[in-house]
């Protein structure tokens, strides 16, 4: 959706701004997860969104949220001076 795309772009723009303003003093990593099993799915009330997710088979391909947690730990363990600007993590069966 347009709102989703706009917020994703905003996160990226803010992250790039932080990275530039800190001049290397802080490390900024954006992690973009795909279909993962979280509580978020239970809060969706819009039936059109639920139908779309079901049509795409997201419930079947969603991976455990621990994979995202492991990715965050990996990003945090990087040596100072290493830039992991963006990480996209999603199930291999998920379309881009």
CATH of residue 79's domain is: 3.40.50.720
Range of the domain at 47: 2-89
What's the chain's Rg over C-alpha atoms?
16
Q: Which of 3, 7, 13, 2 is nearest to 85 (CA)?
A: 13
Q: 85-94: buried (b, 16+ CB within 10 Å) or exposed (e) per residue?
A: eeeebbbeee
Q: Sort 40 into a burial class: Cβ within 10 Å, 0-12 / 13-18 / 19+.
A: exposed
94 lies in some domain: no
- The reported pLDDT for the residue numbered 12 is 93
81 lies in some domain: yes
Q: Is 32 a catalytic residue?
A: no
Residues of the chain with pLDDT under 50: none
- The reported pLDDT for the residue numbered 85 is 93
Of 1, 2, 4, 73, which residue is the catalytic one?
A: 4
């Amino acid at each position: 959706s347009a709102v989703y795309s706009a917020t994703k772009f905003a996160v990226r723009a803010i992250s790039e701004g932080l990275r530039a303003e800190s001049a290397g003093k802080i490390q900024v990593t954006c992690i973009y997860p795909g279909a993962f099993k979280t509580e978020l799915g239970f809060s969706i009330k819009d039936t059109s969104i639920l139908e779309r997710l079901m049509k795409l088979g997201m419930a079947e391909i969603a991976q455990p949220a621990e994979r995202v947690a492991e990715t965050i730990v990996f990003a945090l363990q990087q040596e100072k001076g290493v830039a992991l600007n963006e990480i996209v993590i999603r199930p291999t069966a998920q379309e881009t």
